[in-house]
Amino acid sequence: MKTVLKVCKKIISVLTVLVILTLAVVVIAVKASGGEPTILGYQFKTVLSGSMEPTFQTGSIITIKLTEKDQQYSKGDVLTFIDKNENLVTHRVTEVKKANNETLYTTQGDNNDGADLDPVLSENVVGHYTGFTIPYLGHIVNYAGSKSGAALLLFVPGILLFIYGGLTFRKAVNDFKKQHETASTNQ
């Protein structure tokens, strides 16, 4: 029974450290990238509205593959693009048109009644949805991007690591004392 408890304590310790380190990495990655982290040509985006529900929920994290030069998309693809107000939008392509050597995409949110008013120029497409979604993690990433969130998400893991280190040190000292006392009584 004591062995099972020791194993459980070890597993909990390792998981705690992993969660703390993951939080720190998320905050640092968000701060370093100026918003959304990019890894190997893929970028993580936070879903801010319900326009694409049920494909992905508000507050989810989605991955997009960044657009390569002269990349073409088809009807049904889900694109992330910059709209006329300089906002990032992720909607599905409902129609593709060619005009004056330019590709125009008509887009619509899956949860919207009609197509977006303005067609999307191919040069405004940032990337396309890869099908990978993590529900609700976007709320944490958005919070990590704020000053108070970054401070809290770096401060809390730091405090937890400090406490964990203190507890580990205390246990090591107690174990050393027990070994020393056992050695003294055996002599």
Q: Which amino acids are annotated catalytic?
A: 49
Sheet holding 42-46, edge to edge: 38-39, 42-46, 61-66, 125-134, 78-82, 88-99, 102-108, 120-121
Ramachandran angles phi, psi of 77, nearest 5°: -65, 145
Alpha-carbon span 79 to 29, nearest angstrom: 23
Secondary structure class of 104 (helix, strand, coil): strand
**H-state helical runs in 34-146:** 137-145
Alpha-carbon span 157 to 155, nearest angstrom: 6
